[in-house]
Amino acid sequence: MTRKIVTSFFIVILSVCLTDITAQSHPGNTDSNGGHTCRTNCGQYGLNYGEYHYHNGGSNNTNSSNDSSSSWYYESQIESFKEEIDTLERQLNNLRNTVTDKNSEIEKLKTENTSLKNNLKTYKNKENSLKKDRKQLENEKKELTQKQKKFTIVKEQFTKEKENIKKSLAEKEEALAKRNNDMQRLKEQNRINILYSVLITSAIMLILYFSLRKIYLYYHNEDE
């Protein structure tokens, strides 16, 4: 289908070119007889340089040679156009092959794009899960900081209570030491008092003994 379109297109172009060429075989003005001498591109039109010939219905013996040369020129142009059509068809086939290759590459890229989209979705899900984990960690961190603050407060209270207990223990130890000293003093005083009482009782006993002995001796002497 495309070959027919291309060939018809080039046939139309060729017909336009042929009408233009029949109207003007080659450049140059004509004289009153309708002819002139060829000076430029004579070989393309089958003429010799400086050869006189006619245009647009002029009469001369060279008309038959001009017609044969122009028909040969037209046939060569048609062959060149056919070759150009073949090259264009080859180029078109190459372009089709490249288009198919590009389409296959596009399909591959589409599949890669879908895989990348899926990977992106998975990465987004992972990112969302990581964000949730971060939020949980932040909440746990806040809880830990609050617990640390409470622990520091309790620790300060415990240290204060410990210091108060140490102070009270020191005061109690001082009081116990004072009591021990007082007890030792009382014990010493009791010992001294006991010694005094023993000495006093022993002295009283001696006095009683000697007084009773005197009485006994006194009465015993009287009886004798």
Q: Specify if 123 maps to a domain.
A: no
Number of domains in the chain: 1
Tell me whether residue 51 is in a domain. yes
Residue 108 belongs to some domain of the structure: no
Instruction: Output the pLDDT for position 33.
Output: 64
Question: Is the per-residue pLDDT at 136 higher than 80?
Answer: yes
169-217, pLDDT tens digit by residue?
989 888 898 888 888 888 888 888 888 888 888 888 888 888 888 887 8
Say whether pLDDT at 28 is over 60: no
Per residue, what are the HEC states of 69-128? Answer: HHHHHHHHHHHHHHHHHHHHHHHHHHHHHHHHHHHHHHHHHHHHHHHHHHHHHHHHHHHH
Q: Tell me the Cα Rg of the chain.
A: 73
Is 85 domain-assigned?
yes
Tell me which residue range forms the domain holding 24. 2-103
Paired with 54 in beta bridges are 35
Q: Is residue 213 part of a domain?
A: no
The tens digit of pLDDT for each residue in 104-126 reads 989 999 999 998 989 998 888 88
**Sequence-distant (≥ 6) Cβ neighbours of residue 190 within 8 angstroms:** none
pLDDT digits (tens, 9 = 90+) for 144-161: 999 999 999 999 999 999
pLDDT of residue 197: 87
- Does a structural domain hold residue 147? no
Do 73 and 46 meet the contact criterion of CB atoms below 8 Å apart? yes
pLDDT tens per residue across span 76-105: 667 777 888 888 888 888 888 999 988 998
Asked whether residue 158 is assigned to any structural domain, the reply reads no
pLDDT of residue 153: 92
Cβ density class 122-144: b for 16+ within 10 Å, e for less: eeeeeeeeeeeeeeeeeeeeeee
User: Looking at residue 7, what is its pLDDT?
Assistant: 58
221 in helix, strand or coil? helix
Classified as helix, coil or strand, 172 is: helix
Residue 16 in any domain: the answer is yes
